[in-house]
Amino acid sequence: PARYFDTKTTEPISFFLTGLEELLAWQPNSNDEFNVSAVPLAKRQPPLQSGRPRTLVCHDMRGGYLEDRFIQGLATSDPYVFYHWRYIDIFVYFSHHTVTIPPVVWTNAAHRNSVPVLGTFITEWTDGEKLCEAFLAGGEEAYGAVAEQLARIAQHYRFDGWLINIENTLSAVAVGNLPFFLQELTARVHSAVPGGLVIWYDSVVKDGTLRWQNELNDQNMIFFDSCDGLFTNYNWKEEQLELTQRLAGPRLNDVYVGIDVFGRGDVIGSGFDTDKPLRLIRQYGLSAAIFAPGWVYEHLGKENFLQNENRFWGLLAEYLPTHSICTLPLTTSFSLGMGTSTFLDGKDEDSGPWYDLSAQDIQPLYPEQPGMLNTSCSLQDAWCGGSSLQLQGIIPPGEERVAVRLFSLQMPAPPKIFLTLLYKLEGPQPDDFTVALEVTTWDSGFCFEGNPTSLPEPNGRYYPRFLPAPPPGLTRLLAACRRGSYGWTSRCYELELQDCSLRDLSLIVSRQQPSLQETPFTCLLGEIRVLDTASVAASPPQVQGVTASQLWWQ
């Protein structure tokens, strides 16, 4: 069927639903198994519901369902990718189709990086009025059926909820039932999807007219009270933030103040000045909704996209609270889910462009210190996948080393940890530097390295012990200790901790000789793994009950 498979190639594709009839007729179907997310939402610290402002990203690009609709990837050059997952809390996939089911490649990439994904339910123009009249003015049975279908769809495809956007006027009966519809939908999503969310977009007001408020007020409070959050329109002024803050009370973090990166209408800042509105929003303790950050790709073009993307998010980073990884194993090759080539064990296996967000790895932090450190993605060389992480920086005069924070962690440390690292030093004198890993722990008087006779590290910094070869039981898994090739260096480490809680994983670049000159360095990271020895040593569960379907022999 054309909805599920591309008519030209027969490849499986992601799809949307148009109109009320398609929504109400939707049933799970054996053809849409490709569209079910295969990656559960990874845990994070602090949890989404902790009392701090959140960041929502609303992705709206040229109508949606572009190259990202191809579930098994596509050979395409310079696609759009998003990878600053550590800095955001919620991802919304937006289009102007009635029911926007997020393409599964986005859900897989976001979930791997602990970010929930929402689809969009939108009605607009005169068709939207008719649609709303049919289900909202139709009473409890009619709007209950829509709520039930939306919750079932999120549950079936394993994404995390809905943005609701009613951009048309409503009759008195319809607007009277709207809060009940939102309450019903929210309750059904919460029960069908663990951690599910329903967010209302600031559009229709309580008398049914379409009038964007750009704030939380008595005109839209009834809808805010009926779901998990409000996403405001973009044309607000500072005094409206003050009013919103006052009215939201304890639900301050549930108001997502809109920022349009394209700067349409009367806005405080957009493009590379998006930090201006964001700074104001944070001054009032509110959450932010960044709309269409694909501006970087659409407006500035595909050329230099990765540099421009890092610049855009780097300018916002101080206003974006990051979330930490809280489970092991942590393993990543830093792949963006795209490349100009495919690398395996450092070898360029297949020169040709590719794009598959489902293959995107866990992403690190992207620390920037202007003039001192630049973190970026290199498509020119990789250990596995399509890209490596490139660190370019300077060791200042008189200093011996520089630390680059790659991951924030928040979890109890297992008694014994193995770490593997693959890296490549570039530049005129790579032999002038050494590279190592550093693990920091949260302050605690009880945290010790190794045996209890050792003293706690005053600043909680630990340098895992270098292992020339893996321990006998782990030789097969940790073949990495000896597998450097194509210029990559491979290292294995071990760290024993007692009663500690992990905090950060950093890369240390040191110079071999002290110097009063500043020393520039370039280091590519190909892979990092952090493993709990006990769980690694246990034998993996056997796979059972494999079935194969959708076979096509040629």
The sign of the CA dihedral 121, 122, 126, 129 is: positive
Give the mean pLDDT of 401-407: 95
Q: Are 190 and 224 within 8 A, CB to CB? A: no
Q: Which domains does the chain have, with CATH numbers?
A: 55-64+79-321 (3.20.20.80), 330-537 (2.60.120.260)
One-character DSSP codes across 291-317: E-TTHHHHHH-STTHHHHHHHHHHHHG
pLDDT tens digits for 494-524?
999 988 999 999 999 999 888 888 999 999 9
pLDDT tens digits for 143-179?
999 999 999 999 999 999 999 999 999 999 999 999 9
Give the mean pLDDT of 288-296: 98
Backbone φ, ψ for residue 443 (5° rounding): -55, 130
Q: Across all residues in the chain, what is the average pLDDT?
A: 93
Q: Are 173 and 207 within 8 A, CB to CB? A: no
pLDDT of residue 480: 55
One-character DSSP codes across 4-69: TB-TTT--BB---B-HHHHHHH----GGGGGGS--S----EES-TTSSS--EEEEE--TTS-SGGG
DSSP-derived pairing of the beta strands 338-344 and 197-201: unpaired
Minimal CA–CA distance to 230: which of 256, 250, 197?
A: 256
Give the mean pLDDT of 380-385: 95
pLDDT of residue 450: 74
pLDDT tens digits for 326-340?
999 999 999 999 999
pLDDT tens digits for 334-357?
999 999 999 999 999 978 999 999
pLDDT tens digits for 36-75?
999 999 999 999 999 999 999 999 999 999 999 999 999 9
C-alpha to C-alpha distance for 130 and 133, rounded to whole angstroms: 5
C-alpha to C-alpha distance for 411 and 325, rounded to whole angstroms: 8
